[in-house]
Amino acid sequence: MLDHYKQDYNKQRQQFVLIDQLGLVLEYTGILLPIKKGQNLKELHPFFESLDALLAMPNPEFSFYCVHLDLGTEDLIADIDMVRKKEGMLLVIHDLTEHYNSYQAVAQARNESIINEELIVLKNTELEERERFKNLFIQNFSHELRNPLMSSMAITQILSDTSLSSEQEQLLEVLRDSNTHLKLLLEDTLSISMIASGKLVMKNTLFNLHKMLDLLSFTYKTKAKAKGLQFTYKAAKQVPEYVEGDRLRLYQVLTNLLDNALKYTVKGSVSLTVGFNQQWANKVHLHFEVTDSGPGIPEDKQPTIFETFSQLASPDKQQGTGLGLALVKGLLALMDSTIVLHSATGKGSTFSFDLGLKVPLQSAMQQQIDIGSAATSRKMGSPGRKYKLLLVEDDERVLTVLFKMLMDSDQFYIDVLTDGGEVLETVIQNEYDLILMDINLPNTRGDHITRIIRDFPFKNVKQLPIIGMTAYAYEDHMQAYKEAGMNTVLAKPFDKEELLQNIFMLLHS
């Protein structure tokens, strides 16, 4: 009985076909292939047509695995053995359709996963390359803008110290505003690029949060008034006076949010609120909120407004780079915070974020405040004494304004060089109190000269204070110049006050 079952089973899954040298069916068993005695197998499927060459080969047998024999009605997937017999060629066809179909599903998942992974890697590489190119472009672009902006700012300042008619005063005010605006745009562009390239590092220092918020309140009350808007500022009484965090970046976040609110609000009010969430150990959690009564942001636009170069049309047609909110998002991410937007068309907007800031211990705080006061007191120049400075700068416009700034203070004798290759000899042959030197100098770079000076055997040269000036304002560049031995590095553009403060800080230390 079992033989009967076996025969029946095999009949369903196996077929034996004997063919001659021409491919004609001599005998067959089973029902897998719909064949007839005397039929040429080549007519059944192209697989058999390509066996001609094999029939002429001397090999005693061949095996083909996983052959898809599409016979019109159903797809048979079979292993096919071919064994040479004295009567002709015996074909044994094993139906393994079910087995191979399940294998197909596994192979499909495997291959798709490998291909997807590969495509993701490629996409990422492409995006990284684009990002790198973009950041390099921004870096160079920012560098090229810094020197002319430096000249423009300095000349504006020099002009303001001369006697001007009231009309000229007004024009100068416009120029000053434009300079400030341009400088802020430049800083924002650079910050965005630094965030994207992972070069921006938060600097935690102790600062007076109350003072910073008061300054913001004063500034934006004035700006709002000029636009006919109301400005309100509220801070919870638990907001600590001193905190540790990156003051510059928090200031940048808040000014961007406030500028944005003012820009889009035509009537009504803008407000800044600082709330207290909680304080755990030495960390305070604050809630910052900037609200405006502007036109609001349509829901469909909300997901994209934090992207770089994205901006809505402003009601007063003011231009912008579309960097502000992207910068806010990026800076807050670096501070482990997230910007939240609540807005609806016609109902104004509220941008808010929670921020954890360290509250320093009383003793550490007093120590740092003392250090700060001492530094501030050193910023003043000593009356009566004049210092000898070496000014090294190859950009003629920048050189002119720096020279004028320094001469106007009436505290310096100044030697000027425009070539890095001449600095060492000049320093050895003269006695200077300080060197003010550009980085990107012809022949020998400023940071390279600094390294040589710091390796010099004579103390009067070796310990000479050096202030570097650079239009490459990336933090890693600035750090590298300091590591080369520069005492301070100023990022262009800087103003007269910043320059003199830094000079006297070094001269009196």
Partner 1 sequence: MQRSKKVVILGHFGVGKTSLIRRFVTNQFSDQYKVTIGVHISKKVVTLSAEESISMILWDLEGTDSLDQVRDAYLLGTHGVIFVFDVTRPSTFQQLNSDLKIVSKKLPERPLLVVGNKKDLVSEKDLNELLLSHNISHDFLTSAKTGDTVEDVFLNLATLLNTDA
Q: Can you give the binding site for partner 1, defined by CB under 8 A? A: 45-47, 49-54, 57, 62-68, 70, 77, 100, 103-104, 107-108, 111-112, 114-115, 118-119, 122
- Shortest Cβ distance from residue 113 to partner 1 (Å)? 11
Q: How far is the C-alpha of 350 from the C-alpha of 362, rounded, in Å?
A: 35
- Shortest Cβ distance from residue 454 to partner 1 (Å)? 44
Question: Nearer to partner 1 by C-beta: 132 or 211?
Answer: 132
- Shortest Cβ distance from residue 39 to partner 1 (Å)? 18
- Shortest Cβ distance from residue 106 to partner 1 (Å)? 9
Q: How far is the C-alpha of 184 from the C-alpha of 189, rounded, in Å?
A: 9
User: Over 142-188, what HEC string results?
Assistant: HHHHHHHHHHHHHHHHHHHCCCCCHHHHHHHHHHHHHHHHHHHHHHH
Q: How far is the C-alpha of 255 from the C-alpha of 213, rounded, in Å?
A: 11
- Shortest Cβ distance from residue 369 to partner 1 (Å)? 59
- Shortest Cβ distance from residue 187 to partner 1 (Å)? 35
Question: Nearer to partner 1 by C-beta: 49 or 299?
Answer: 49
Question: Nearer to partner 1 by C-beta: 54 or 380?
Answer: 54
Q: How far is the C-alpha of 396 from the C-alpha of 147, rounded, in Å?
A: 10
Which token pair is 313?
A: 């049309």
Omega of the bond prior to 493 within 30 degrees of 0, cis? yes
- Shortest Cβ distance from residue 133 to partner 1 (Å)? 15
Question: Nearer to partner 1 by C-beta: 53 or 174?
Answer: 53
Question: Nearer to partner 1 by C-beta: 70 or 476?
Answer: 70
Question: Nearer to partner 1 by C-beta: 98 or 425?
Answer: 98
Query: Which residues are CB-neighbours of 21 under 8 A, at least 6 positions away?
Result: 55, 88, 89
Question: Nearer to partner 1 by C-beta: 66 or 344?
Answer: 66
- Shortest Cβ distance from residue 67 to partner 1 (Å)? 6
Given its phi and psi angles, is residue 281 left (phi above 0), alpha (psi -120 to 50 degrees) or beta? left
**Alpha-carbon Rg for the chain in angstroms:** 39
Nearest to 356 by CA among 444, 262, 426, 282: 282
* Residue 262 · residue 220 · CB < 8 Å: yes
Question: Nearer to partner 1 by C-beta: 96 or 159?
Answer: 96
Question: Nearer to partner 1 by C-beta: 12 or 50?
Answer: 50
Question: Nearer to partner 1 by C-beta: 111 or 205?
Answer: 111
* Residue 400 · residue 151 · CB < 8 Å: yes
Q: How far is the C-alpha of 468 from the C-alpha of 487, rounded, in Å?
A: 8
Q: What's the sign of the alpha-carbon dihedral 182, 184, 190, 193?
A: negative
- Shortest Cβ distance from residue 86 to partner 1 (Å)? 22
- Shortest Cβ distance from residue 121 to partner 1 (Å)? 10
Distances (CA, A) of 293 to 89, 138, 271, 279: 90, 34, 9, 31
User: Over 106-119, what HEC string results?
Assistant: HHHHHHHHHHHHHH
* Residue 199 · residue 190 · CB < 8 Å: no
